[in-house]
A and B are shown apart, each in its own frame.
Chain A
Amino acid sequence: MDSHTAVAAKPHGAHAHPGYGELRHHFESFDQQKDSATIGMWVFLLTELMFFGGLFLAYFVYRQWYPEAFASASNKTDLWLGAFNTTVLICSSLTMALAVHAASMGKRILLVGFLIATLLLGGAFLGVKAYEYHDKWIHHEVPGEHFECEGCKDEVHTPLFFALYFGMTGLHASHMIIGFGILLVLIWQAWCGKFTTKWYTPIEMFGLYWHFVDIVWIFLFPLLYLIDRTGRTLL
């Protein structure tokens, strides 16, 4: 096979980890290999989009049916804490974008640094989230036997809002926790110098995943925190 001999002739053939990070024989070029990975990752992200989409649909249906319940329950969330947490998550998206940039420039220490920053900012986000969950827990705002929603309208249906709140933010948080696991592996691999300017596909693909998780939050924030802050529906 022609492409096989072409691979053998490349200087990267003598890499310390044979097969890892090299041009696979079924691809014409590094560009084509990377484009294929990008498309595969996007197809995965679209399945994720539909996964979250089901929850968003449930949210829209119940919000349409019980607007007062959703409006008054949403006012129980902490608007400014939510905005702060959105800011933290966007910061982690920036450090992730800069990590991909550092990888493309072949700056190993900078790459490791930005990946660690992404991990820490993600941790800070989940820390604030844990505080919010705890706050809801002690105020009996978790759906169940002891559920209470002080001063809420349509109390029969307010648990629906909180069920979706915990379901959606919980699914989002579990994606971040999975992301932490992958990040730890990537930090180790980057530290060991496994990535080159020609091949840093895992960093770039993880970047796509991380930004996707950020986008989910960009929609969760207005939908869960910003319903009817002026109290118009409740008049």
Chain B
Amino acid sequence: MDSHAEHHVVPKSVYFAVFFTLIALTWVTAWISTKDLGSSSLNVAVALSIAVFKASLVVMFFMHVKYGTKLTKMIVCIGIVWLLMLLFIAMMDIWTRTWMGVPGR
């Protein structure tokens, strides 16, 4: 088992580095939202990319997945895939209704 030895070497400096990155990105995303980037979908893309990056930092370092077992990593990945299936398969319907001119929408 390789996880145990690594569990205890996460230095506090890593936590602080992640923390300051998260704080900085919070204010960056708030500030960028007030700037017109040329299209509103670009604003959405930037805001969500920053959110995904922040969430990954929390999962990897605060939640120790980077230092966890392979099984933990697999479970986390499969869970995210499952959520994306929920969101994207449902949204495929919503997005394409207007393209195809389906009655009722």
Interface residues, chain A, with chain B CB atoms under 8 Å away: 29-32, 35, 38-39, 42-43, 45-46, 49-50, 53-54, 56-57, 60-61, 64-65, 71, 79-80, 82-83, 86-87, 90-91, 93-94, 96-98, 101, 104, 204, 207-208, 211-212, 214-215, 218-219, 221-222, 225-230, 232-233
Contact = CB atoms under 8 A, between A and B. Distances in A.
Contact of B8 (A56, A104, A229): A104
Contact of B48 (A79, A104, A222): A222
Nearest to A79: B30
B5 to A, nearest CB: 10
A82 B33 CA distance: 13
Nearest to B98: A64
B72 A42 contact: yes
Interface residues of B, number: 53
B33 A57 contact: no
Chain A interface main SS type: helix
A90 B55 contact: no
Given A31-B1, A53-B86, A215-B58, A229 B71 contact: no
Contacts of A29: 1
B11 to A, nearest CB: 9
B4 A229 contact: no
A8 B40 CA distance: 65
A35 B1 contact: yes
Contacts of A39: 69, 71-72, 75
A230 B87 contact: no
A42 B58 contact: no
